[in-house]
Amino acid sequence: SSSWSPPVDIACSRWIPTRYGAGQCCIGAGVDCVRFVNAILADLSGLPRCELPREAQDAAFHNRSVSARVARIMRQHYRVKRLRTQSDRKPGDIVAVGCRTDPFHVGIVGSDTRVVWHASPQGVTRTSFQAMGSNGYKVLRLYRCLSIPA
C-alpha cells in the first residue's frame, strides 16, 4: 500500500493479509512469528534469511530451550544486541513478549514505536504495546539488529 513510507512498515505490510502458519514463511500463504521476524530482518538488512533448524516450528519456538538456540543463531547471523531499556526502542527493533499462556512471542517494532508487527493467530498484523499489555503480554527483551542501515 502506498500509505506505508518508512522501510520497516513497507517490509511488514507486504505480509498483509498472510495467515498464520506454523513452520511456514511464504507471503500470502502462511508465516509464524519467528519466520516473520527472520524475513523482515533479512529484508531490512539486505542479508539472506537465516537458516533456522527444522525443529524451530513456531510452537517449539515457544519452548525456552529451542527459542534460546534459535535466538542465538539469529543474533549471530544478523549481528543483534540486547537493549537494556525499552525507552529507546526504534523502528525495526525485535521485541520478545510473553504471557502465562504464551511464554515467548516475537515481533518487529513499527515506525510508530508504540506498535509491534507480528504473526498472530489472526495473521500478520500490527498491535499496540498497550493492547498487548491489556492481553496479559509483558515485554521480556528488546533487541537491535546492527546489520540494518541507520
Check pLDDT > 50 for residue 61.
yes
Q: Which residue has the higher pLDDT, 68 or 135?
A: 135
Cα–Cα dist 80/116, whole Å: 18
- What does the DSSP 8-state code read for residue 60? H
* Mean pLDDT to the nearest integer, 88-95: 93
Check pLDDT > 50 for residue 1.
no
Query: Which helix H or strand E contains 10, and what residues bound it?
Result: helix 7-13
Q: What is the pTM of this model?
A: 0.90
Angle (CA) 117 80 60, round 5°: 60
- Among 38, 43, 108, which Cα is nearest to 71's? 38
Looking at mean pLDDT, say which of 12-21, 58-67, 141-150 comes out highest.
Answer: 12-21
Check pLDDT > 60 for residue 78.
yes
Q: 43-57, 80-94, 118-132 — which is least confidently predicted?
A: 43-57
Lookup: cell for 81: 544486541
Q: What is the pLDDT of residue 71?
A: 83
